[in-house]
Structure 1
Amino acid sequence: MENNFDELKREMDNVNRFVPYTLGELLAMDIKEYPFLVEKLVPEKSIIAITGHPESGKTWFVMYLIYCVVYGQPLLGMYKAQKANVLFVDEEGGKYEMARRYKLVGFKNDVIIHTLSQQGIMIDSQEDTDSLIGVIKNKEIGLVVFDPFAAIFSGDENSARDIGKVMRSFQRVIVETQATIVFIHHHRKDSKNYSNGTEQSMRGSSAIFGRIDSHIIITKRSESEGEMTMAVIQRKSRKGRGKIKAFTVKMVEKDGLVQFEYMGEEPQQLKLSKAETAKEKVLKFLIDRRATFNEIHDSMKGEIGRDSLGSALKELIHEGKVASKKEAHGKPFYWVAKEKEGQQTAS
């Protein structure tokens, strides 16, 4: 009898795990503009990726963003920031480098920032995620920063399945703590010819871009002694009113402090080549489907010619981003290579 009761209880728990909203409940909601931790850039209770090549200034920009959040100061004097406590999960720099950066950016011991430095946190581990959630709740954290993304999980960044597990853990953290998540991630080496970067510039599976709510690219424009100029480019804004225009920031080290200055809208809004534009459009189209060459071409609505499309597909296959296989009637079908499917030759 006791075993039957336990089995029934487990069944009831499974039944009650998911609680759907009724249409009436959703229609009765007071719809307002989505709240942002940092206006237009960092939506609350969301997943934000800040990406770029090594030494592009992305970590410095994030340190400054954190400064604005913990002090409640507008980013660059333009984008309002809501005050919140911060947890920085550092798996790269180490505590001495973190201390150096905190001092250079101008932090004082009058705000709440906690740092977990090189403690081997694996967000795809339930035990580690449980512990992390405990820290976030205990310290009343509103913003969690992970640096670098590739070091906080044990799986393969090119695997959609492994990335899905990471994103589900992120979502669990958000649901259980109401915190916002920012992670810093690197670009592919072969994307350096993209002066402004694209969503495909990020290393790893395309599932990363698919699951994040905001994507900000940091691109170094120039560097001299004690000074760096970088472009800030928003490639995705799921919860805002469209993407903001790219802008330039100057980072200057002066009198032992790093300062950030808004330099205006980004002047180098360079257009991608036809082939690069085609590659970007192909990956977007194939993200959730398999298609023939003609189906892909038809989806472009005359924007991309057949020759440019053919070149784009060959490059994407060579880069391992798209897979291809002949199926019915000998026609090749194409799809996004979400797993390591290997390079295949287009026919």
Structure 2
Amino acid sequence: MRLSVLLADDADPDQLLGQPSYIFETSPGNYQIGILLDPEDAETRDRDLIDRVLQHMVAHNMIKADASGNNLVRYGRLPVGSNTKKRSTGTFSLRSLKCDLTHKYSLEDAAAMFGLDLATVRGAPAKPKSDIPKSTSIDHVESFKNLVNPDPAQRSYHDSLLKLSASMVAAGTHPGAVVNLLRSLMLAVKPEDEHEFNRWEQRFGHDLIRMVSTAEKFAPPPRETEPSQFSYKFAELLEATRNIKWLVKGLVPDDSMGMIFGASGTFKSFIALDMAMHIATGADWANKRTKTGPVYYVAAEGGAGIAKRIQAWHEIHGLAEPIDNITICTRPVLLSDENEIKLLRNDIEAMSEKPRLVVIDTLAQTFTGDENSSSDIGDYIRLINSEIRAPFGCSVIIIHHTGHAASERPRGSSAITANLDFILGVFRPDPQAMTARLMVSKQKDGDKAPDALFNLERFVLGRDEDGDELSSLVAKYSDITENALEGFKGTKYTPIIMKHLSEGVATADELVIMAQEIVQEDKAVVRQGIRRGLTALSRAGMINERAGIWGLAKT
């Protein structure tokens, strides 16, 4: 035994979410609606499920329950004969408003036309709604064709509008937008014939609004939105910016875009690699605290050189086992190309842990545009920002060259400076010496840190197959304060002052507070010691003061 037709008595055709098999008007304004069921659907033989479906239809006033409560056996009408009930208008002849017996439906699709979710009826969790509503009858294209049929007499206003409005509202389209769109379509095919115009006008007005209003109950619930991050109250902004998060304290902000630039031969790549290796190992760099994390290094200028540099770095720092917290890309990727940068992003995503730092060495090898074009440079930086920095929440450092005439700034458009959070410049104080000085050229969210000095040490790795020596340079930080104090006769407070000022500027009161934590003496004694130390170091030209703020003298 199976259910062959899902019937509804006295149902409103305007509330259907699809095209039934037939609609018979059994009395004025009363209809019986039937949907032919697919005999191949096993659920049409599930007695318990069918009974629950019919009970739900009873609860929604779509079936008049028998006194016995047994709704399984239904009496179907035929579109012939007359309703003999006495009425002032006389005998009513039954008539067919729609009849298409060519389509068969699953029980699930048939129930959906009446607004019933079969999963809910079963007592199982409902299937998640699709972003595109499931069609339960003819394709939407057919509905549009029927609505705008060139022959006005052949147009199906009611069924087409009902189907389209229900689908659009169920998909989340605003009801007002649905009305406007469908009315625009109807205006495009407005008939001139008076009889057809009357039929068109009836659907154009109240009927369409009623269809859309009825479908609103099937609209998806509004999506919960995340709290807006576009704006802050002042107190929230103050709290958010109170403590800058650093990857390298005072030099490289966390989750930022920056650059290290320098002329050829200033050892900028060696210094960038040294920073990267310290972050990968969790060691302080240039006497500044770092956050430990994976590093992704784009060595676009070649793999052989970077391999020797990393090997030499391991040897000089006494590391027997290779660091596994750094990943090197030796492919010359073009990061100004959307497809290429997505390949790089995919490779970074394959890392077992998100990177803390991504180094791009160099801009020239990963950029195909005009360096002097603010548009080209801006697009390049924005692509890296959106495809690399933002998805991983990491800091990105781009290695770049200086111009031929201007060695104090990066080569190319001023858009480079405008679009970056920090810029570090590398210079050689003495062209004959193997030293380099790192200085802060731009620091958007913090004070400019004092310069840092690096010595370049040569390390012999071995010999190649021809017996030639294999070697590489390694950048090693040289403590400026220790060098400056060598041979200087001061007090126990002078190294404390120099150490603190090497990390940033400070007032005398801040130096007193910091020193008191170290020497554990009476505050008055510490204050006098700091005052004498500041005087001695200032006279020696090692530090200077401006508006009550002390800092290291530029050398």
* Pairing of 1:8-87 with structure 2 (within 5 A): 21-24=230-233, 27=236, 30-31=239-240, 32-76=242-286, 78-87=287-296
Distance 1:148 1:259 in 2: 18
Aligned residues: 249
Is 1:230 aligned to 2:436, yes or no? Answer: yes
Is 1:166 aligned to 2:380, yes or no? Answer: yes
Distance 1:41 1:22 in 2: 27
Using structure 2 for the length normalisation, give the TM-score. Answer: 0.41
Q: Specify which structure has the higher proportion of strand.
A: 1
Return the structure number with greater relative CO, CA threshold 8 A, min gap 6. 1
Deviation string, structure 1 residues 139-160 (Cα, Å, up to 9, x no partner): 1222111111122122111111
Distance 1:120 1:46, change over 3 A: same
**Is contact 2:361–2:400 with CA below 8 Å preserved after alignment?**
yes
**Can you give the 5+ residue segments of structure 2 that lack an aligned partner in the other structure?**
1-139, 145-163, 178-224, 462-472, 485-555
**Which residue of structure 2 lines up, in the alignment, with residue 127 of structure 1?**
339
SS of the counterpart of 1:64? Answer: helix
**Which residue of structure 1 lines up, in the alignment, with residue 477 of structure 2?**
261
Is 1:149 aligned to 2:360, yes or no? Answer: no
- Counterpart of 1:97 (choices 305, 311, 314) is 305
**Is contact 1:133–1:177 with CA below 8 Å preserved after alignment?**
no
Distance 2:381 2:460 in 1: 41
Letter in 2 for 1:23: Y
Deviation string, structure 1 residues 131-189 (Cα, Å, up to 9, x no partner): 22222222122211111112212211111111111121122121111121001000001
**Is contact 1:71–1:111 with CA below 8 Å preserved after alignment?**
no
Considering only CA atoms, is the larger Rg found in Structure 1 or Structure 2?
2
* Pairing of 1:329-344 with structure 2 (within 5 A): none
Over the matched positions of the two proteins, sequence identity in percent amounts to 21
Once the 2 structures are TM-superposed, how far is the Cα of residue 254 of structure 1 from its aligned partner?
5.0
Distance 2:356 2:396 in 1: 9
Deviation string, structure 1 residues 180-236 (Cα, Å, up to 9, x no partner): 1001000001125xxxx2xxx211100000011111000012355xx6111111011
Letter in 2 for 1:49: M
**Is contact 2:271–2:475 with CA below 8 Å preserved after alignment?**
no
Distance 2:356 2:264 in 1: 27
Once the 2 structures are TM-superposed, how far is the Cα of residue 121 of structure 1 from its aligned partner?
1.3
Is 1:114 aligned to 2:319, yes or no? Answer: no
SS of the counterpart of 1:212? Answer: coil
**Is contact 2:257–2:397 with CA below 8 Å preserved after alignment?**
yes
Letter in 2 for 1:124: S
Letter in 1 for 2:381: M
Once the 2 structures are TM-superposed, how far is the Cα of residue 27 of structure 1 from its aligned partner?
2.1
**Is contact 1:253–1:259 with CA below 8 Å preserved after alignment?**
no
Distance 1:163 1:73, change over 3 A: same
**Is contact 2:362–2:400 with CA below 8 Å preserved after alignment?**
yes
* Pairing of 1:297-308 with structure 2 (within 5 A): none
Distance 2:280 2:341 in 1: 24
Distance 1:120 1:248, change over 3 A: closer
**Is contact 2:277–2:326 with CA below 8 Å preserved after alignment?**
no
Q: Which runs of 4+ in 1 moved over 4 A?
A: 1-9, 254-257
Letter in 1 for 2:293: A
**Which residue of structure 1 lines up, in the alignment, with residue 15 of structure 2?**
none
Quick check: 163-172 or 258-267, which moved more?
A: 258-267
**Which residue of structure 2 lines up, in the alignment, with residue 138 of structure 1?**
350
Distance 1:22 1:203 in 2: 35
**Which residue of structure 1 lines up, in the alignment, with residue 133 of structure 2?**
none
